[in-house]
Amino acid sequence: MNDVYELLPLDQGRKGGLARVAYLRELLLKENINTITVLAGDLVSPSAIGTANINGTTLNGKQMISTMNTLGLDYMIFGNHEFDLSEKDLLARMNESRFTWISSNVFHINSSEPFGSSITHKIITINGVRILLIGLSIEWTSTYASFINQSSIVTYTRQFLTKFSNGTYDVLVLLTHLDIARDIELVSNIPQIDLIMGGHEHENYNYLRGSKFTPIYKADANAATVFIHRCAYNIDKKRFRIYSTLARVSQEVPEEEKTAKVANYWYNLGIEVFKALGYHPEQTISCLPQGIELDGTSESVRSSQTLLTDTICESMIATTSDSRSTIGIFNSGAIRIDDILRELITGYDILRTLPFTNNIIALSVPGRILAQVLTTGMSLKGNGMFLSYTGVQTSDGGTTWFVNGTNIATTEINYIVATIEYAKLNTQLNNPNVTVLQNTNVTQTAALFSYLKIKYPPC
């Protein structure tokens, strides 16, 4: 599995849930005692429950580690969102883990030492077959860790593998948290790779690439699916075979009791914290009319505009009405729900939709710069920096932008834009010609709470 941020089932119980995954794992262990459970990055952040402050300490993924310890996870690698945490918190989460962290390309800053308690590789021997596991993670902005970047990852991996003399291992398995294009590049250039189990994209992939048609697998985020790989190895012929199934983690899968108990403990603890803050997570905030859905799946929001992204933009415009903003934009990666909201929407649905503390601001942006920001954002499909927007139109896929029929790139007009601090810092909105008009001190999350009650009132 990969990219798991939620403890309990999503979509009104229709999919996901770590207790269900634990049940599947128990079945597989009965089938084969040598079953290994791995997670290809992104576990401790972000999530709504992870933001809960218990006795002065923010959970910051503690709930995920505790639940995975009970589930029986064996190995995981770093995803980019592990580094949302401070160094102190990430090291604490690693120390709490009863499973092993593998990382071949992440180090302490200015050091060649593996980060924290991670190991650079693991050789597992099963019935005389030696399986070499290595872990490769996408580079990320961090003040305390350094990475081998994606552009150098093939060269680095080749060099890394020279540490192992001929006969050291029989099967080479990569756990990766990389862009799919980089996974393909790895198997296309390093034929000794037998299997990649990856993450980062949030949707399932099953590719065969390279001269050996090496399989690359990724499951859906939040354990909506898990990949089950049944592997065989002919020692005499040195031939590896894999038989894989993408298993849906649905309502038909029972829950394993111990994992369910732990997951619900942390969930309920977080819910009580949110209640104390006045959020009312279990309260119905909105009732969507029949046929109306708020699509927050990563596949959708990172490639197109949806009713959910429109609604979030509208809520930011409403929050900055004192500045008379007319355009709303933000990076789609702020949306973490990876789900479709239907029918009744609770406070917790909103908290898990927008778990980051992103304050809303109003900017005065020259039309030329705004057009550049939007065009760049539209080019980043599949990426968390793909931009969601409202109040501006394009008819050619993002090359030309119009407001009231005027090409904004050719005007001298400054447009009033509602956005979030993260988008300003990480796009061309950080241009010195962009002026901050209003710091609202209102989070995106709080704005959506207020706006949804108006747009789609509760029943």
- CATH architecture of the domain 280-455 equals Alpha-Beta Complex (3.90)
Domain 11-248 has CATH 3.60.21.10: yes
Residue 382: per-residue pLDDT:
83
| pLDDT digit string (tens) for the chain, length 459 residues | 999 999 999 888 899 999 999 999 999 999 999 999 999 999 999 889 998 999 999 999 999 999 999 999 999 999 999 998 999 999 999 999 999 999 999 999 989 999 999 999 999 999 999 999 999 999 988 999 999 988 899 999 999 999 998 889 999 999 999 999 999 999 999 999 999 999 998 889 999 999 999 999 999 999 999 999 999 999 999 999 999 999 999 999 999 999 999 999 999 999 999 888 878 898 899 999 999 999 998 889 999 999 999 999 999 999 999 999 999 999 999 998 877 898 899 999 999 899 888 999 999 999 999 999 999 999 999 888 999 999 999 999 899 999 999 999 999 999 999 999 999 999 999 999 999 999 999 999 999 999 999 999 998
Where do the domains of the chain lie? 11-248, 280-455
Residue 12: per-residue pLDDT:
80
Residue 262: per-residue pLDDT:
99
| Cα atoms found within 13 Å of the Cα of residue 18, Cβ hemisphere only | 31
Residue 91: per-residue pLDDT:
98
Residue 356: per-residue pLDDT:
85
Residue 103: per-residue pLDDT:
98
Query: pTM of this prediction?
Result: 0.81
